[in-house]
Amino acid sequence: MTVDQIPIGRFSLITHLTQKALRLYDQKGLLVPGAKDRITGYRSYTISQIERGIRIRSLSYLGFSLDEIGRILDADETTAAAMMQGRLAAVRQEMGRLSAIEEALQRWASPEEVYIMSLSEPNVKEIPEIRVIARREKGTYEDVCHRLIEELMAAIHTPENLRNGVRITGPVMMLCHDEEYRESDADIEIAVPVAGRIAVEEGVEVKVLPAVTAISVVHTGPYEDLFGAYGAIAAYAAEHGLALAGPDRELYYNSPHEVGREEIRTEVQYPIQPAE
């Protein structure tokens, strides 16, 4: 072994990377040893590889996957900076989720209180046709809902539409087109009721939502507690011999940017048909 070669154990101590991790990085091509004994397979590294090892350790600590680490190490400065900003946004989103969980745990003193939420009594409503401006995409609820609401509001409030007297006539709503709960690729449609001669760009649709008979429950409180509203609707449907037939709708009567989390009002409308 030459003076420049560092045994895997010592390299592990210097970089704070376990030998198991170093073997994995070798397999992935992220950090290939400078030398490897043909007979024993013993790995040794060079002084010049210490910096790369430390960078890998730092990026791993920041939560990047091995594939992402490889791309960052090989990327130019602009691309690497963009990936860092993307990771920062993901961390902030996760911090928001954990903050909501912390608040819920503080709010619920006992397991029983998890199911005690501010819900109206379920009732059956006749929902008329509604003319809306809408956009539909797949993704996470956190990303798609917020982004599409902003895009639709911008589309409504263009100078041309303002001149034409276009106005919003009801609360923003979300329609879920999935037949099961999906986290990363949910089929989401955001719709805003409007009146007036509206002009839209490609990707935004002006349409009429059909009239439906629906079970309605109004929930007051944070969005993450909405599961209680769906549970109440399912129980009501079973009790009265009704079959749920989506897509379900969530109507947002106010915004967490305007009121406290405990004052957020959301109506869940679930279309129904008589059970066979």
CATH of the domain at 29: 1.10.1660.10
Distance of alpha carbon 173 from alpha carbon 109, whole angstroms: 32
The CATH number of the domain holding residue 131 is 3.20.80.10
Boundary-marking domain end, from 43, 74, 105? 74
Q: Are residues 147 and 233 in the same domain?
A: yes
CB 161 within 8 A of CB 204: no
| Tally of domains within the chain | 2
Residue 98 lies in a domain: no
Q: Are residues 62 and 168 in the same domain?
A: no
pLDDT tens digits, residue range 247-276? Answer: 999 999 998 888 888 889 999 999 998 655
Helix, strand and coil in the chain, % to nearest 5? 45, 25, 30
Residue 24 lies in a domain: yes
CB 145 within 8 A of CB 256: no
pLDDT tens digits, residue range 18-57? Answer: 999 999 999 999 999 988 777 776 788 988 899 999 999 9
Number of DSSP helices (H) and strands (E) in the chain, helices first: 8, 14
Q: Are residues 248 and 180 in the same domain?
A: yes
Question: In degrees rounded to 5, what are phi and psi of residue 17?
Answer: -110, 130
Q: Which residues contact 245 (CB under 8 A, 6 or more apart)?
A: 271, 272, 273
Q: Are residues 190 and 257 in the same domain?
A: yes
State yes or no: pLDDT of 114 exceeds 70. Answer: no
pLDDT tens digits, residue range 209-243? Answer: 999 999 999 999 888 788 888 889 999 999 998 99
Core vs surface per residue 227-237: b (16+ CB within 10 A) or e? ebbbebbeebb
Question: In degrees rounded to 5, what are phi and psi of residue 164?
Answer: -85, 0
Polymer length in residues for the chain: 276
Residue 141 lies in a domain: yes
Q: Are residues 123 and 70 in the same domain?
A: no
Residue 105 lies in a domain: no
Nearest to 25 by CA among 2, 5, 48, 8: 8
Query: What residues make up the domain containing 229?
Result: 118-274
Tell me, what's the pLDDT at 52? Answer: 92
Q: How many CB atoms lie within 10 A of CB 190?
A: 25
CB 271 within 8 A of CB 245: yes
Residue 95 lies in a domain: no
CB 186 within 8 A of CB 141: yes
Element at 9 (helix H, strand E): helix 8-15
Residue 48 lies in a domain: yes
Q: Are residues 206 and 152 in the same domain?
A: yes
Residue type, 110: S
Paired tokens of 24: 């994995």
Boundary-marking domain end, from 59, 74, 89? 74
Residue 41 lies in a domain: yes
Q: Are residues 21 and 149 in the same domain?
A: no
